[in-house]
């Protein structure tokens, strides 16, 4: 029922309709809408005109059935409350769309059942998967790899199997943080991290500590928040206030934590920044530049990151059997008031 006179404008204009109107074959229509076609300009124009008139659109579902290219890309993400994460998802979505790929957004939380996620990806024959989640169920990655689904890990450790990865220069971040704090006058260092830090956070910290040692600034105090968020930063600040008041330079693994740390200083101290305490962190989320924070940070440009991630993914799609690529993106120090010399 309801095929003849249901809606104002009929759906379901097929390539046959266009072919008929244009006076060509379905193949010609198909070719017109295929990137690397081989159609005469004449036919192409006839087809386009007819398509326009009928409001024809290629049915990607049907085409991907045979071409095996769905152009759907799964984004596996989590913790969108962290502005950096939200920005990252936004950037990825934009870049994918600009390349003709369509992002399917899959939010996963730690303990969630990953088999559902995998199922979905496979059912839709996704062209690729991008994993930005801190704690991506290993099983997802593993299965994607064994099934030959192109995948890119963002800022994650290498896994058992070789797989494409794009990393921010976490090592440089740690080094830069130590140097910047030192140059701003801090001499007793601490860092703020979480109980279950991800790979990238650990690298930042290891490099930070090592650089502190090189600078002769030991020991380096560890302040730990439960989660990698505002509350975590604030509770780490509590540890500083109660047990480590001699510290005068702090490296937070992320801006999100740093905001909590700074507010802890302000509310529970007050400890003046940068007069009594220098603070630096990583990401450069919008809040870092807010005048209330003026947080010195090591920028990780989410747009640039997204561009590289999608580049790598598309390369992998084109060349499924190439060896795994690892790209390291540069980061950039953004000087603000929290490490100003007074």
Footprint on this chain of DNA (rule: CB under 7 A): 12, 14-16, 23-31, 33-34, 38-40, 42-44, 56-59, 62-63, 65-67
Complex with DNA: residue 31 or 204, whichever CB lies closer: 31
Element (H, E) at 152: strand 151-154
Residue 297, beta-bridge partner list: 281, 334
Complex with its own copies: residue 176 or 288, whichever CB lies closer: 288
Per DSSP, 323 falls in state P
Site size toward its own copies (CB under 8 A) is: 55
Query: Of these, 5, 36, 42, 57, which contacts its own copies (CB under 8 A)?
Result: 57
Binding partner at 26 among its own copies, DNA, none, C-beta below 5 to 8 Å by kind: DNA
Considering the complex, what minimum distance in angstroms separates the CB of residue 15 from DNA?
A: 3
Q: Which of 196, 24, 189, 169 minimizes the C-alpha distance to 110?
A: 196
Considering the complex, what minimum distance in angstroms separates the CB of residue 59 from DNA?
A: 4
Say which residues have a Cβ less than 8 Å from residue 228's Cβ, sequence separation at least 6: 79, 82, 134, 194, 197, 198, 201, 253, 254, 256, 257
- Structure tokens belonging to residue 297: 């940070």
**Would you call 66 helix, strand, or coil by DSSP?**
helix
CA–CA gap between residue 33 and residue 58 (Å, rounded): 8
Distances (CA, A) of 93 to 37, 89, 103: 28, 6, 6
Binding partner at 139 among DNA, its own copies, none, C-beta below 5 to 8 Å by kind: none
Per DSSP, 294 falls in state -
The reply on whether position 6 binds its own copies by CB under 8 A is: yes
Say which residues have a Cβ less than 8 Å from residue 100's Cβ, sequence separation at least 6: 71
Site for its own copies in 91-120 (CB under 8 A): 93-94, 97, 102-107, 116, 119-120
Site string for its own copies, 240-279 (x = CB under 8 A): --------------------x--x--xx------------
Binding partner at 42 among its own copies, DNA, none, C-beta below 5 to 8 Å by kind: DNA
Classify residue 291 by burial, with Cβ atoms within 10 Å: 0-12, 13-18, 19+.
exposed
Binding partner at 81 among DNA, its own copies, none, C-beta below 5 to 8 Å by kind: its own copies
**Helices and strands per DSSP (H, E), number in the chain:** 12, 12
Binding partner at 202 among its own copies, DNA, none, C-beta below 5 to 8 Å by kind: none
Judged by the rule CB under 8 A, the positions of this chain that interact with its own copies are 2, 6-9, 11, 57-62, 64-65, 70, 72, 75, 80-81, 83, 86-87, 89-90, 93-94, 97, 102-107, 116, 119-120, 122-125, 146-148, 230, 234, 260, 263, 266-267, 286, 290-292, 320-321
């Amino acid at each position: 029922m309801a095929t003849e006179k249901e809606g104002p404008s009929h759906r379901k204009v097929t390539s046959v309709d266009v072919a008929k109107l244009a006076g060509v074959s379905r193949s010609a229509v198909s070719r017109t809408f295929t990137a690397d076609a081989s159609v005469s300009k004449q036919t192409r124009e006839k087809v386009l005109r007819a398509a326009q008139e009928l409001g024809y659109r290629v049915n990607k579902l049907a085409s991907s059935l045979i071409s095996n290219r769905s152009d759907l890309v799964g984004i596996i993400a989590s913790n969108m409350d962290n502005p950096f994460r939200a920005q990252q998802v936004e950037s990825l979505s934009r870049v994918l769309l600009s390349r003709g790929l369509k992002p399917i957004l899959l939010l996963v939380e730690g303990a969630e059942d990953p088999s559902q996620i995998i199922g979905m990806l496979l059912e839709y024959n996704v062209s690729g998967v991008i994993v930005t989640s801190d704690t991506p169920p290993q099983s997802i990655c593993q299965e994607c790899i064994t099934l030959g689904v192109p995948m890119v890990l963002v800022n994650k450790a290498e896994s058992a199997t070789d797989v494409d990865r794009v990393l921010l220069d976490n090592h440089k971040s740690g080094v830069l943080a130590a140097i910047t704090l030192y140059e701003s006058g801090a001499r007793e260092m601490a860092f703020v991290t979480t109980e279950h830090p991800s790979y990238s956070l650990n690298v930042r910290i290891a490099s930070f500590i090592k650089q502190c040692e090189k600078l002769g600034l030991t020991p380096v105090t560890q302040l730990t928040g439960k989660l990698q968020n505002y509350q975590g930063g604030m509770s780490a600040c509590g540890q500083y206030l109660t047990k480590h008041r001699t510290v005068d330079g702090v490296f937070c693994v992320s801006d999100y934590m740093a905001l909590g740390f700074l507010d802890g200083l302000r509310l529970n101290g007050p400890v003046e920044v940068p007069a009594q305490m220098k603070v630096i962190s990583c990401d450069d989320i919008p809040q870092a530049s807010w005048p209330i924070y003026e947080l010195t940070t090591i920028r990780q440009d989410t747009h640039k990151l997204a561009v590289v991630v999608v580049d790598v993914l598309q390369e992998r799609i084109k060349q499924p059997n190439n060896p795994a690529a690892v790209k390291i993106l540069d980061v950039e120090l953004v000087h603000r008031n929290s490490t100003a010399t007074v």
